[in-house]
Amino acid sequence: MDTDDMALLSPSVVPRLGWLTLVVMDALISSRFIPFCPHCPSSVAVSHMANESRPCPCDIGDKFDYGGRGEEVQVEHIKAYVCKPPASTDKAVIVIHDIFGWELPNTRYIADMLATNGYIATCPDFFVGQEAWKLSNDWATFDDWLKTRSAGKIDKEVDVILKYLKEQCGAKKIGVVGFCWGGAAVQHLMLKNPHLQAGVSLYGVIKFFADMSSFLHPTFFIFGEKDELIPLQQHSSMANSSAVAAAAAGTAAPTMLEELLEITAQSLVRTEVAEHYEVIRELGRGKYGHVMLVTHRQRGTPMALKLLPKASTKLHTFLYEYCVALSLATHPAIISMFGIAIESSQYYGFLYEPALHKDLISIIKPRDGIPEPAAKQCAKQLVSALEFIHSRGLVYRDIKPENVLLFDPDCRRIKLTDFGLTRPKGTKLKLVAGVIPYTAPELSNTADAQGVPIDTSLDAWAFGVLLFCLLTGYFPWEQSLPDDPFFEDFMQWQETGLEEDLPRHWKRLTAEAALMLRSLLALDPAKRCPVSGVLHYVDCPWRLEDGNSEEAAVKP
């Protein structure tokens, strides 16, 4: 697996995790439980650790009395702790223990939290019967002890566990999480094992390892906990807690984003771009910043680097866009993130996967659009991405061709990007400055000084405008205001629904396509169909072969 395909997670850096998504964030952030180990590098800043006063940071009090909710099983020659969720699932996580071994209660506690959140979780004995390190051991003997327990030599054991998860537990999507010794193992496995879709590495290097290259590994992060560890009794009620229920319903997104903003601000990497990245060329430039194609100087990984000038960008604005993108990057039709945010002397920036085939606007032909099969490919993927965003309690608010990136020339793989305008549902917005064709009429002419609470109908409207552009090569109007003649014609047709009132530049569309767009573009937000309504029409023709309108509205 290439390093740029890796999936990672941390409280300070939360890039895409594919299927291992916000529920793990809930387990490792909202639950505020991160195990610590005394052999982490001395250079690690731990001044904020809640348990720093204890002799050993792993000495977490009542967690040593934690009995666990799973069971021990024998998997061929390996013992393993396994905890399963109440409902069946095809997703599993392998928890790799630290030097203190697979029986350490706080390691099993992580497995139980993952199971509580819907994953098959297993913590195997990767020492395979060899004695784990004990707090009473003489640290002078640690080097010799470690030589016989290499984190990079557990491939055979992992293969056994993968076979067990697939054949005995029905797992199809499998990730791995580890801390310290286990974190180093995660880094090794994510580079070597193609069957692992996600990797979470906590403290993936220890000071006794001579090889410090793990610091540069994309799954590595360091985190100093500020809050007290959650009490033992909280775990037993976790499955029914309001926090978990809210996260499942998507209503916890604003709170989680604010917490992520605060943590990311504390861990922002301060560096100059040229120190770690070689700039290849510019990929795009907009009103607020520009995007460069860069490669990592040591790994050679190609990446897109979005740079926002500090002179015109507030730190909170940058962090908000970055954290929203991170929290949504698990979806296949949303841009994937590398989980790296930087601050240089002149810019804020973050890294994501590069789209070398540009964006939708680059392939829309004026007065023509794009081929109907490509338009339908776009529509299906965008529906999926928008539904995912909406399920997280957010409204995207910036649907336009420039924000749909292409990964092939035929739109078989596209991704949504740019989340600077994304806001939680219910956020009140006042009259939008500079009304554009995608602006819904309720925001174009509102006189409400308090603003209009936003909802997903705004995205439905903009999505309808985008589909019209793809099918015709024109905007349907310049702005959604009554004094726009094209919009006035459209309003007349919306009111009557009569074929003779269909605007001239809509007549290249089939009756089914016109009905689809009429539903998305309902003047009353309450009557707009959700974006998923488009899926009912994908098997119908959308464009008339001989349809033509030389008097259509505005070129996109």
- Binding-site residues for ATP: 306
Q: Is 5 a catalytic residue?
A: no
DSSP state at residue 524? S
Can you tell me the distance from the alpha carbon of 118 to that of 116, in angstroms, rounded to the nearest whole number?
Answer: 6
What angle in degrees, to the nearest 10, is found between the helix axes of 253-267 and 315-328?
120
Q: In the 8-state DSSP scheme, what is residue 345?
A: S
- Closest among 298, 389, 300, 294 to 342, alpha carbons compared: 294
Which residue is catalytic, options 125, 398, 484, 489? Answer: 398
What is the number of residues in the chain? 556
| Pair of tokens at residue 179 | 């801390």
Annotated binding-site residue numbers: 306
Q: Are 401 and 355 in contact (CB under 8 A)?
A: no
Distance CA 329, CA 20 (A): 11
Dihedral (Cα; 278, 281, 283, 289), 10-degree rounding: 70
Pick from 392, 367, 427: nearest CA to 22? 392
Task: Give strand pairing partners of 95.
Answer: 177
Partner residues linked to 44 by β-bridges: none
Radius of gyration (C-alpha) of the chain in whole angstroms: 26
Cβ count within 10 A of residue 304:
21
Compute φ and ψ for 60, nearest 5 degrees. -105, 35
Beta strands (DSSP E) in 16-166 are: 71-75, 78-83, 91-96, 120-124
* Region at 222 (left for phi over 0; alpha for psi -120 to 50; beta for the rest): beta
Q: Which residues are catalytic?
A: 398
